[in-house]
Amino acid sequence: MSPSPLFEPLKLREVTLRNRIVVSPMCQYSADNGHANNWQLVHLGSRAVGGAGAVFTEATAVSAAGRISPGCTGIWLDSHVEAWAPCARFIREQGAAAGIQLAHAGRKASTQIPWLGTHALTPEQGGWRPIFAPSAVAFDERSPTPEAMSEAQIDQLILDYKSAASRSLAAGFDVVEVHAAHGYLLHEFLSPLSNQRTDSYGGSFENRIRLLKRVIASVREVWPERLPLWLRISASDWTPGGWDLDQSCALATALVGSGVDLIDVSSGGLIPGVAIPMGSGYQTPFAAEIRRQSGLMTGAVGLITGAEQADHIVRTGQADVVLLAREMLRDPYFPRRAARALGATIAPPKQYGRAW
């Protein structure tokens, strides 16, 4: 047994993570018509070599219209399977579980690649219209007003997630995560700030979670029982009248037995200009409370930057895994450095054996 619970294996169905450090999904905006390429292979592969227990792709769109930007990855074409397969295979060869995050950007779709700007793109600029949301409510004053989805379009979205899960399996991924956070489409349905529908997908809490529950059920129809399914949520909109921790706990409890194995707990992203009290581990209490109330495993994310901090989160039962993003960009070998600091070991690749 490792001297640090951070480096104890975690069994999720028939997938075992070698430790509790997970590379969080991080958009790279560098795909070719949704196709992963050498950038994704090296970016993700280097973090698997770095010793993480699991490595997740960036938010990967279930349809062309579901991309955040023209540079975002996708899994709506069979050729996307061929593009992702080398990445998934290399991650697994290095001892990490390969995870893919399935997403639809909703009203935040069709925007410029960040280093080229932050504005919405028109079709003439390489973007697309229409963009879809639960209601015809724009993200901000600079954003186009989306079209409220019809029930037929909602049914098609559910099929898109199901097809994306099938392709993810064909590409060789071990874990699939449904993205329902950060103001993207599924989060938009959850929050009363963005969901103003009056049909069976809006109004009451039960109606607002209906789409997410249907998406999870459709993914589970094709995602094997032996493989884990994760869900990322924003635990709070940080705004009165929005989605909040109480609703997040109620959602997690409602999902017990649905096939979701772990809730990856983030926050924010639904509306701009919100004052979020950011600080070291500021979202971890959300993960702890959801875990306590629902009994589901959780992942903590957000300004986790040190070995002792990550170890403390797992050791004290606040979360079952920690997900790192910016720290993993700064140091792909963070897990190996953390292991050394905490008296644990991660077997190195044979090519690097002389360095450890």
Q: Where are the alpha helices (DSSP H) in the chain?
A: 38-49, 78-93, 151-171, 185-190, 205-208, 210-222, 245-254, 284-294, 307-315, 326-330, 334-341
Q: How many CA atoms lie within 13 A of 347 on its CB side?
A: 7
Known catalytic residue at 184: yes
- DSSP letter assigned to residue 202: S
Phi, psi (degrees; rounded to nearest 5) at 344: -110, 175
Q: Which of 29, 161, 184, 201 is the catalytic position? A: 184
The residues facing 17 across adjacent strands are 10
Percent helix, strand, coil in the chain, to 5, is 40, 15, 45
- The residue with tokens 């959300």 is 286
Distance between CA atoms of residues 327 and 324, nearest Å? 6
- CA dist list (Å): 190 to 66, 86, 187, 223, 291: 17, 35, 5, 23, 19
- The residue with tokens 């196709």 is 35
Q: How buried is residue 176: exposed, middle or buried, by Cβ count under 10 Å (0-12/13-18/19+)?
A: buried
3 state DSSP class of 154: helix
- CA dist list (Å): 125 to 104, 119, 128, 130, 138: 20, 11, 9, 14, 19
The residues facing 230 across adjacent strands are 177, 262
Q: How buried is residue 214: exposed, middle or buried, by Cβ count under 10 Å (0-12/13-18/19+)?
A: middle
Residue type present at position 58: E
Would you name the residues annotated as active-site residues? 184
